[in-house]
Amino acid sequence: MKRFSVKSKLTLLLTALAAVVAILIFSLLLFISSSVSVSSSMAALSDTARKNASLISMENGKLAFDDSFSFYHHGITTLIYSKSKALVAGQPPVNFSFSDDFQNGTVRTVPSDDTSYLVADIYLPFGWDDGVWIRALSEAPDNGRIAADITFVFFIIFPVFLLLAALGSYLIVKLSFRPLDKISRTVSAINEAKDLSGRIGLKGNDEFSRLSDAFDGMFERLERSFDAEKQFTSDASHELRTPLAVIKSACEYAEKFDETAEERRETIEMIHRQANKMSELINQLLNITRLDQGTEKLSIADVELGSLVHSLCCEQGYDINRLHIQAQKGVFVSGDSMLLSRLIKNLVDNGFKYGKESSCVWITVYKNEDEALISVRDDGIGIADEYKEKIWQRFYQVDASRGEDSGIGLGLFMVQQIARAHGGYVTLDSTLGIGSEFILHLPLRK
Ligand code: ADP
């Protein structure tokens, strides 16, 4: 059975099932036909005996038969016996051996020589002494012959039935497996072409559609994770090139020229800064990729945003003269406090980074009917309208020439990702030269 496909196995099983059902029906037919033929013969016999009994009368001490009385009718012989069981009228069949076991009103089988007979007796009491027995008899139906006939027909019909059953089963199995064929063809095509954008897309709500949905979901996830991996590799190699080039040329310069101790210290500091930048870049890229892929599991808990903001600002040691916090109490969300802190930190850092000299940052925590909100506002350089869309893209910087204090263009991208991962979003309101306000909208804790 191992060599056979599932289709062949199912076809065989269904055909076998049909064969078993046919054999069962055949056996039932045999049983029913034999019992039906015996009982219908018995009923006919009993009817004839009664009918004939009603056609006999006693006139002047003699039996009188009505005109419609018949001693032999449709294979049923009627015999008349005296009360003392002597044959008075009628001709018994040649091979019927007389049975003196008369039973009034019953029909029974009486074995006789080589055949069995069905016998029905009725006693007619004419006066006290002159009663007669009416005996109707017919050959018992030959069950063996009926069975042989049915078996003969069965053996002619059975192979044709089996063939049709096999054909029907094959068609049913083929039709039922069509969606599975589609699934395996699509999966093979995706596998061969190494193109994860293909989808099976079976419609409906049966097992195959659910399997197809599961596969499509898996391809979707795989595609996203491959894309994220590709993006990560290309982003990382692209962005690491600049600090690496700086480090390389600083080393070459230091090798070529005799540097003073002071110059060497500056070179080392610069290399240190570039190395830090590289490590921050790699960390951020990893975080972004994990969030992208959904592999960074959110550890969701109840977070009180006011406390979160206060403890974050305390940890970061921001200048309290330039940072103003106003937090409504009891604004709870369900979220990952580490990621939310990272989001707020990015916004506050930007507020200071893109502020004017000694400009301030205001953080306000509040809520409305169904949202928790954190506003991070600054009175810094502001963002021109044309950049308001672009700044959310990864690695996008309005002014990439800000030198070493410029970021790497991943902060706002990550802000947006974290907000989305929490079912929220961030809005921006900014005026060039006046300042910017980023507002984080999160669903309130249920
Ligand atoms: P990075 O700060 O590392 O450059 P971000 O993704 O955080 O990257 O920001 C993208 C760009 O958006 C920044 O380069 C900057 O030009 C602009 N930007 C972000 N926040 C502010 C802000 N508060 N004020 C003015 N410009 C901002």
Contact 141, 44 (CB under 8 A): no
> Measured from the CB, is residue 179 less than 6 Å from ligand 1?
no
Task: Please report the pLDDT score of residue 296 as a whole number.
Answer: 67
* 134-138, 274-278, 294-298, 360-364, range with the lowest pLDDT: 294-298
Q: Which residue has the higher pLDDT, 194 or 387?
A: 387
pLDDT at 412: 95
* C-alpha span between 354 and 43 (Å, rounded): 111
* Most confident stretch, 116-130, 149-163, 373-387: 373-387
Q: Is the CB of 306 under 6 A from ligand 1?
A: no
What's residue 85's pLDDT? Answer: 85
List phi, psi (to 5°) of 376. Answer: -120, 110
Q: Is the pLDDT assigned to residue 166 strictly greater than 90?
A: yes
Q: How many angstroms separate the alpha carbon of residue 415 from the centre of ligand 1?
A: 11
CB-ligand 1 contact for 397 (6 Å cutoff): yes
Q: Please give the distance, rounded to the nearest whole angstrom, from the Cα atom of residue 350 to the centre of ligand 1.
A: 6
Q: pLDDT band at 95, cuts 50/70/90?
A: confident
Q: Ligand 1 pocket, 435 CB below 6 A? A: no
User: In sequence order, which ranges of 55-193 are alpha helices (DSSP H)?
Assistant: 143-176, 178-193
pLDDT band at 406 (very low <50, low <70, confident <90, very high): low
pLDDT at 341: 94
pLDDT tier for residue 18 given thresholds of 50, 70 and 90: very high
> Ligand 1 pocket: which of 346, 350, 379, 394 to mutate (most atoms <8 Å of CB)?
350
pLDDT at 2 (0 to 100)? 56
Which atom of ligand 1 sits closest to the CA of residue 438?
23
Distance of CA 237 to the CA centre of its chain: 42
Residues in Cβ contact with 101 at an 8 Å cutoff, skipping those fewer than 6 apart: 110
Most confident of 38-42, 194-198, 241-245, 256-260: 38-42
- Say what percent of the chain tops pLDDT 70: 96
Query: How high is the pLDDT of residue 128?
Result: 53
Q: Give the tens place of pLDDT for each residue, 257-275.
A: 867 888 888 888 889 988 9
Reported as a pLDDT band with limits 50, 70 and 90, residue 226 is confident
- What was the pLDDT predicted at 129? 63
Query: Is the distance from CB of 395 to CB of 408 less than 8 angstroms?
Result: yes
**What is the position in ligand 1's atom list of the atom closest to the CA of 412?**
6
Question: Which residue is closest in CA terms to ligand 1's atom 11?
Answer: 397
For ligand 1, atom 16, name the residue with the nearest CA.
Answer: 398
Cβ(44) – ligand 1 distance below 6 Å: no
Which whole number is the average pLDDT over 120-140? 85
pLDDT, position 383: 96
Q: How far is the CA of 409 from the centre of ligand 1 (A)?
A: 7
Atom 21, ligand 1: residue with shortest CA distance = 350
Q: What is the pLDDT of residue 177?
A: 87
Ligand 1 atom with the smallest distance to the CA of 397 is: 14
Q: What's the whole-number average pLDDT of the chain?
A: 88
pLDDT of the residue at 191 = 80
Query: CA–CA separation, 76 vs 45, rounded Å?
Result: 7
- Given this model, what pLDDT does residue 182 score? 86
Residue 133 Cβ < 6 Å to ligand 1: no
Residue 88's pLDDT band (boundaries 50, 70, 90)? confident
**Closest Cα to residue 305, out of 244, 376, 358?**
376
415 lines ligand 1 (CB under 6 A): no
Predicted local confidence at residue 196, as pLDDT: 80
Write the pLDDT tens digit of every residue in 418-430: 999 999 999 999 9
Q: Is 399's pLDDT higher than 90?
A: no
- Cα 368 to ligand 1 centre (Å): 28
List the structure tokens of 233. 């590799």
Q: Whose CA is nearest to atom 19 of ligand 1?
A: 350
φ, ψ for residue 45 (rounded to 5)?
Answer: -65, -45
Q: What is the mean pLDDT of residues 174-191?
A: 86
Q: For position 360, what pLDDT does the model report?
A: 94
